[in-house]
Structure 1
Amino acid sequence: MLPKYAELPRLDDYGNHSWGVFGQDDELGTLNLIDADAVRAATALVRTGERVGLSLPLDQPDPPLFRREPFRHTVKRIGSMWDDRLDSFFPQGSTQWDGFRHHRVRRHGFYGGVQDDPAPGNPRLSIHHWASSGIIGRGVLLDVARHFGDLDALAERSITADDLRAVAEAQGAEIRPGDILCVRTGWLSAYRGLEAEGRAAISAQKSSFSSAGLAADESTAELLWDWHVAAISADNPAVEVTPGGAAVGSLHRRLLGMLGIPLGELFDFDTLAARLHESSRPDFLFVSVPLALVGGLGSPGNAVAVL
């Protein structure tokens, strides 16, 4: 039985942390909650066998966000065969998972209190540990965009813990330990509706552009921990609201660094949301296998929903 958030130790004024809950040398955080029983139960959700891709093409968003550069794709002939190569490729440039080395809790270190800096080939808290068994389990979609029909996803709008509870209740979605929680804010749908100039304007703002997202306060972290989700993914660029405020704090720090909850960004839930709405269900089999990149700080999502 996992402790409630209120029972976790406090780390200065940052919030409560789960360091040591899954072992002193833990590499998986709340992904530990996806055991064989959870996967077996999730496979029972497959009814039609329809598969819905949840990943954007690797070259989207275009232009890239957060000061990243577009990758270069080269095709080369080698004898009678052809090969290709990617240069300037950012694994976190499109649909992606943030690993535990992505965000530091300042002087306290990364998840688990790990102090050394990231480095290529460093296996500690590397994304390749997540690839060893994948992120496979019961996915639950909270369609915030549908519930709040007037939500402007391209504006700074905090989706609070109470909002998440309200959407779950309205959808009849029971959140169970080990679930992969998926949140549709409507950001991707709104972004797709922009002309090229509008997309370029967002990219030009570097890290300060506005988007709806989860509130970064401690009540959000408390809810997600007490729901005991294995991971959370969203269709916006940062999961949390942007640009946010220093007085509220960082949800990346609270979830990745403090609680060991993986964050997935820019997941494409539009088609999935329509299919689930048509069939009056909130859950599905979620399948995602990150790259086995030793020392990696993040990975493309490589995600599919099976209905």
Structure 2
Amino acid sequence: MDATRLPKYSELPRLDDIGANYAWDVFGEGDELGTLNLIDSDTLRQASSLVMDGDRVNLSLPLDQPNPPLFRREPFQHTIKRIGSMWDDRLDSFFPQGSTQWDGFRHHRVREHGFYGGVRDDPATGNPRLSIHHWARSGIIGRGVLLDVAAHLDTADYDPLAERPITADELRAVASAQDVEIRHGDILCVRTGWLSAYRALDDSERAAMAEKKGDFSSAGLSADESTAQLLWDWRIAAVGADNPAVEVTPGDPAVGSLHRRLLALLGIPLGELFDFDDVATRLHGAGRSEFLFISVPLALVGGLGSPANAVALL
């Protein structure tokens, strides 16, 4: 995909009743990948050159974290079963989006207009259209760029556990302060500091957060149109964050939903609850912000999301 030929956000068609632009025809009819199309062979070859030290850093939380689960999800049940001379695992009540994960294109709908691409039928088990298994075929692999918002906003009045929108201008400021150029096909990795703050909570505080279902507070990307415009015009392939929703929660209904703007309208995959703490420390120590990002979702036909299974190679 020639990223130089992509229309700017301002040139995309618009849904006036939603107040947002959409990119349903940009990558062709029946597209399943959205902006993952921007990770081409040249982009991948350049990303592979970022492996300098050979260090491997895990970016995924254990499957049972956060604990208790957030957003009304249930904890999974892990059973070990003996089959003859072999032993097997079984998971029940397993939510693929309960820990570090990708939201697929069936995760969020745009009212009567449908999901990404204008697909209007409801999700169904085994339905291959807009299924997460399409992303698993090649994985989400490319140049990871860490924007360490938490380090940039390291002030007494910044609390990642508070409802604090991170604006498009602030993302630009972080990129400028880190002297990093965002390139087409990048996987944008945003460290809000939420995960570090969550880890500092005691069990009762974590339980109280889970009891609030989706109404707990967290810092995150502003859900307004300027954020969508910036990420589209940056030509990123995907965005992941260390907080539960990428966007600020609970959020202002008058501003709208960044999930709707990015996933459903622009085809930009969203990754949540990534562990960027260790990789941030290592990158800061090396004076760099980029690395080879590798994530392979589950090949679950009809899946709406998947564990990320992500690592950074430095």
TM-score band (shorter)? over 0.9
- 1:116 matched to 2:121? The reply is yes
- The correspondence of residues 215-254 of structure 1 with structure 2, limited to 5 A, is 215-254=222-261
Q: Which residue of 2 aligns with 1:143?
A: 148
Q: Which position in structure 1 is the counterpart of 2:278? A: 271
Displacement of 1:123 in angstroms is 0.1
1:79 and 1:132 map into 2 onto residues whose CA distance is 33
Q: Report the equivalent of 1:183.
A: 190
Q: 1:212 aligns with which of 219, 244, 254?
A: 219
The answer for unaligned runs of 5 or more in structure 2 is none
- Aligned match of 2:293: 286
Q: Secondary structure at the match of 1:3?
A: coil
1:32 aligned to 37, 40, 44, which one? 37
Supply the AA of the counterpart residue of 2:29.
Answer: Q
* Alignment correspondent of 1:10: 14
- Tell me the equivalent position of 2:263: 256
Shift of 1:13: 3.4
- SS of alignment partner, residue 292 of structure 2: strand
Count of equivalent residues: 307
The TM-score, its normalising length taken from structure 1, stands at 1.00
Residue identity opposite 1:4 in structure 2 = K
- Letter paired with 1:273: A
Q: C-alpha distance in 2, partners of 1:74/1:205? A: 29
Q: What one-letter code is carried by the residue in structure 2 that aligns with 1:22?
A: F
**The residue matched to 2:188 in structure 1 has which SS?**
strand
Output the CA distance in 2 between the equivalents of 1:121 and 1:37: 33
CA distance in 2, matches of 1:173, 1:18: 27
> 2:53, 2:261 → 1: CA distance?
38
In 2, Cα distance between the equivalents of 1:60 and 1:246?
A: 28
2 CA distance for matches of 1:13 and 1:244? 20
* Matched residue type, 1:34: I
**Ranges in structure 1 where 5+ consecutive residues have no aligned partner:** none
In the TM superposition, structure 1's runs of 4+ consecutive aligned residues that sit over 2 Å from their partners are none
1:203 aligns with 2:210: yes
Q: Name which of 77, 84, 87 aligns with 2:89.
A: 84
Q: Kindly, what percent of the aligned residue pairs are identical?
A: 77
Match of 1:61 among 39, 61, 66: 66
Shift of 1:70: 0.1
Which amino acid is 2:92 matched to? Answer: D
AA aligned opposite 1:271: D
Give the superposition deviation at 1:164. Answer: 0.0
**2:240 is paired with a residue of what secondary structure?**
strand
The secondary structure found in structure 1 opposite 2:294 is strand
RMSD between superposed Cα atoms in Å: 0.5
d(CA) in 1 for partners of 2:301, 2:13: 31
The CA deviation at 1:54 is 0.2
In the other structure, the counterpart of 2:53 is 48
1:190-241 deviation per Cα after TM superposition (whole angstroms, max 9, x unaligned): 0000000110010000000000000000000000000010000000000000
